[in-house]
Structure 1
C-alpha cells in the first residue's frame, strides 16, 4: 500500500489553561512522529474563561477543534492556524476522509438537528466531548456519558471516535468492534486524559482511505456495544421503554396516586424508573447492580451540605414491579420469603455500603424509606444521611407528622417499631401486607425500623410522609416538594460526580468486577 493511501492523524486533549504548552507539544510531535495530515484538539479549547492562544504562539500545522461543555469564544480566538469546526457537522478533509464533530453542549442541539446532520452518514473520524452512554455504561462511568450520542454511533459508524468525557479527561481505549461478519467496517473508541495529567493525552495513528483495510491492524476484536435494552435483558431486566425526559422522580408519580383513587395503570412505556429506556437520564446514576441500581435524587431534600453533595438518593429495582413480593412471585417463584430474593439481598448490599460510606465521612446515620403497595408503580427505596444528633429526634418528628397526616387524610396512621431487622413479625408484614417503612441505620446492625402496615389498599396514604418527616426534622420545610428543589443537568452531574467518587470504595458492583 502506498504512503499516499494513508493519512496520518494526531489527536490531543489540551489543558485550556495552558494552551501554549500543548501547542509546543503538538509542534514537537509534528517533527518527531509527523508530519501529520490532520491535527485535532479536543475539549474546551477557547472559551471566555481562558486566554486562548496568542498570535505569537504559532502551531506548525492547522489544528481543528470544536466545543467542549462551554461556548466557544470568538473574542479569545486570535490565531488563524486554529480552525473552529462549529457545534456539529461533517466535513470532508483534503484526502476525502470524513470528519464528524459535535459540541459537548448537547442540550443546545435538537433531536431533529442531530438526525438531519448525522443520520445514515458514515464518517471516518468522529470527535465529541462526552462518551455515548452505551459505552460508558459498560464501564459504569455514567458521568462522562450522554445518551444522545448513542444514535450517532449507529448512524455514522465511525472508524475512530475520540472523546474526553469531562474537563479532567479520562484515558480509555475500547476493543475495536466490527459492524458485520466480514469486518468490512470496524470502529475504535478512544477517550483521552487532559494534557499534563498522568493519563495518556494524545493519540497518533494512520488511517487508510479504505475502511476495509482497518481489520489488518486489529489483533483482537471486542463485542459491538449493546443498546441499553439488550444490556438489561441479559440480566433478566424488563423490555425497552420510552420515558419522557426530566419526569422520573418518585414524588410526582406517587403524589398523584395519593390524590386519585381511579387511575390508569402505568405501563413500562411510561414508567419514570425503568432503566431500559434509551433516553433515561444516565447522568444521575451512581452504580448499577444485577437487579437494582443506585441514583441521586432529582429535587434533593437538602442542598449541598458539608459533604459537598446532598446525599439524597434512591435504590431502584431494574424490573418493573411495584413491590419486592411481586418481583419474587414473578422472577424467583421457588422462594418462600422476599428476604431470600436476589433483589432484596442486593438492595441490602447497597444499604450496607451506604451506611459504611457515610460513616467514613463523619458522624452520620442514614435514613432509608420506602412504600410497598401492590397497586403501586415501580418500587424503590430512598435514603438520606443525617447527622447523628438529629437521630434522637426522629421518632418524635414521626409522631408529630402522624397527627398532621390524620388531619389531612382523615386516615389513621400507626407504626410498629422494630430494633431487630430479623424480627419474625417484621418479616411477616413485609411478606404478607402493603406497608410503609422508615429505617434509621446508625450502623449495619444498630437500626430502628418504623413500619406502617397499610391494611386498606385503597386508603389515601400520604406518599410524601417520609420526606415530610425529614423536612421537618432537618428544618427544610421549604424544600418539602421536589419540584421546588429542581437542579440543572450540570448541577445534577456535579452532585453525582462527588457522590460517585465517595461511593466508589464501597461499591460492591465494582469490587465484584475486579
Structure 2
C-alpha cells in the first residue's frame, strides 16, 4: 500500500511539469489616452484639374458663342481676298529692285570688304598684295580635315570697291581684255598659290564667284575639298541648278558650260565680255589640272546668291553650314585669330605678296 501512494505522488508531479506552459506571460501595457484636438481644415476650391476639362470648357464657350450668333442671325463669313498672280509678281519684283538699289548704294565706308570701313575685321587678314588681298571667310563652310589645322575657307578680294571685274579693270588700264589686267592676273596667281598649298594635304580646291552689275564688292571664294570628293562638285552644281530652276524659274540661269583649260578661247571670250554676268566654279585637283563650270544670266532675273555655298555644303556633307551666319559656322575672335596664324604658317612658302 505505501508503494502505491509513492507512485501516485510522483506521477502527479510529472503531470504538473508537462502541463506547465514554458513561454513567459506577456503583460500588455496600459493604453495611453490621446487628447483629441479639433483642427479646422478648410478645403481649397478645386478648379479644372485636367487638360481635358480645360479643353471641354473652351469648346463649350465656343459653342455658346456660335449658338448665340445663330440665334441673332449675326454670322459674318469673311471672304479671303485672292491675290492676282500678276499683281503678286509685280510686288516681288518691286521688292527685288529696292533690295538691289539698297545694295548698290553701299559706300566703301560701310562695305565689309573695304579697308575704308572702320569696322572691317582686320584680324582676319592673311595676305595683302598690290591690287587684292586674302582674308579668312566669316562663318566657314569647311572644317579642319586631312591634316589641316584650320577650316581653309578664304576670300580673295580686290582692294577697290567695284561690283564686277570689268568695272575697274578696263577703266584704269584702258585695255580691251579683262584677262590682261594686273588685277585679274593677280587674282589668278592667288588661286594657283592656294591650290598648290592645299595639294600638300591631298586636297583639291574649289573657287566660285559672282560677276554681276548687281554685286556690291566683287570677290572670289576659295574652299579646300578632299580629292575623293572632287567628283561630287559637278553633280552638286547640276543638282543646285535644277533646284534653282524650280524655285526661281527655269530661264533664270543658262545651263552650265564645262571647260578643262583656263586658256580656252570660248571661256576667255565670256570672261572678257564686259556686258556678261555670270557665276563660275573653278575646280583644281592636287595635280594642277583644272575644270571650269560657268553659267551666264540676265541681271534682271532673280538669282540665289547662296548658290555657290550651297554646292560646297552638299559636297562637304555640311548641310548646317549652308549659311555663313548659322550657329554651327560661328567662331569667336580668338578662334579666328588662331586660324589666321595657322593659315599664315602653312601659306608662308606660297604667298604671292612676299
SS in 1 for 2:279: strand
CA distance in 1 between partners of 2:119 and 2:307 (Å): 30
Instruction: Report what 2:179 is aligned to.
Output: 339
Q: Deviations over 1:345-378 (max 9, x none)?
A: 1111111110111112x21110000000022110
8 A Cα contact 2:144 2:150, kept in partner: yes
> Is 1:327–2:168 an aligned residue pair?
yes
Moved over 4 A (4+): none
Residues 438-457 of structure 1: pairs in structure 2 closer than 5 A: 438-443=281-286, 445-454=288-297, 456-457=298-299
Instruction: Summarize deviations over 1:205-238 as a string: whole Å, max 9, x none.
Output: xxxxxxxxxxxxxxxxxxxxxxxxxxxxxxxxxx
Question: What corresponds to 2:223 in structure 1?
Answer: 384
Residues 1:451 and 1:444: Cα distance change in structure 2 (over 3 Å): farther
What are the Cα deviations for residues 22-81 of structure 1, in whole angstroms up to 9, with x where unaligned? xxxxxxxxxxxxxxxxxxxxxxxxxxxxxxxxxxxxxxxxxxxxxxxxxxxxxxxxxxxx
1:429 aligns with 2:273: no
In structure 2, the residue matched to 1:375 is 214
Higher Cα radius of gyration: 2
Assess, with a 3 A threshold, how the Cα gap between structure 1 residues 283 and 464 changes in structure 2: closer, same or farther. same
1:280 to partner: Cα distance: 2.0
Residue in structure 1 matched with residue 321 of structure 2 by the alignment: 479
- C-alpha separation between the residues in 2 aligned to 1:428 and 1:377? 24
SS in 1 for 2:291: strand
Deviates more, 1:281-290 or 1:434-443: 434-443
Pairs aligned (count): 250
Asked if 1 retains the 8 angstrom alpha-carbon contact of 2:109 and 2:118, the reply is no
Match of 1:284 among 116, 119, 124: 124
Q: Distance in 2 between matches of 1:459 and 1:499?
A: 38
What is the alpha-carbon distance in structure 2 between the residues aligned to residue 380 and residue 417 of structure 1? Answer: 21
CA distance, structure 2, for counterparts of residue 277 and residue 463 of structure 1: 23
Shift of 1:278: 4.0
**2:194 is matched with which residue?**
354
Superposed displacement of residue 444, structure 1? 7.4
**RMSD across aligned positions (CA):** 1.6
Q: 1:461 and 1:505 mapped to 2: Cα distance?
A: 38
Partner deviation per Cα, 1:399-449 (whole Å, 9 max, x = no partner): 111111111212433111010111111111112211100110115751110
TM-score (norm 1): 0.47
**Does 1:261 find its partner at 2:97?**
yes
SS of alignment partner, residue 294 of structure 2 = strand
Report which of the two has the higher share of helix: 2
For the 8 Å contact 2:170–2:177, the answer to whether it is kept is no
- The offset of 1:267, in angstroms, is 1.9
- Change in Cα spacing, 1:444 to 1:267, as seen in structure 2 (3 Å) is farther
2:156 aligned with 1:312: no
> Which of 492, 498, 504 is the equivalent residue of 2:336?
492
Rounded to whole Å, the distance in 1 between the matches of 2:299 and 2:231 is 32
C-alpha contact 1:352 1:444 (8 A) present in aligned 2: no
Q: Distance in 2 between matches of 1:260 and 1:380?
A: 22
Q: How does 1:73-472 map to 2 (within 5 A)?
A: 260-262=96-98, 263-264=101-102, 265-305=105-145, 306-333=147-174, 335-360=175-200, 362-412=201-251, 413=253, 414-432=255-273, 433-443=276-286, 445-454=288-297, 456-472=298-314
Q: Secondary structure at the match of 1:322?
A: coil
Distance 1:338 1:445, change over 3 A: farther
Q: TM-score, normalised by structure 2?
A: 0.68
Preserved contact between residue 256 and residue 294 of structure 2 (Cα < 8 Å): yes
In structure 1, C-alpha distance between the alignment counterparts of 2:132 and 2:195, rounded to whole Å = 17
**Does residue 505 of structure 1 match 2:346?**
no
Note closer, same or farther for the CA distance 1:443–1:326 as it changes in structure 2 (3 Å cut). farther
Q: Secondary structure at the match of 1:404?
A: helix
Q: Distance in 2 between matches of 1:281 and 1:312?
A: 16
Greater strand content: 1
> CA contact under 8 A between 1:405 and 1:462: conserved in structure 2?
yes
1:156-183 CA-partner distances (Å, limit 9, x unpaired): xxxxxxxxxxxxxxxxxxxxxxxxxxxx
Separation in 2, partners of 1:341, 1:275: 22
Which consecutive residues of structure 1, in runs of 5 or more, have no partner in the other structure?
Answer: 1-256
User: What secondary structure, in the 3-state scheme, does the structure 1 residue paired with 2:349 have?
Assistant: helix
Query: Which has the higher relative contact order, 1 or 2, with Cα contacts under 8 A spaced 6 or more apart?
Result: 2
1:332 and 1:443, CA in 2 relative to 1: closer, same or farther beyond 3 A? farther
Query: Which segments of 5 or more consecutive residues in structure 2 lack a partner in the other structure?
Result: 1-92
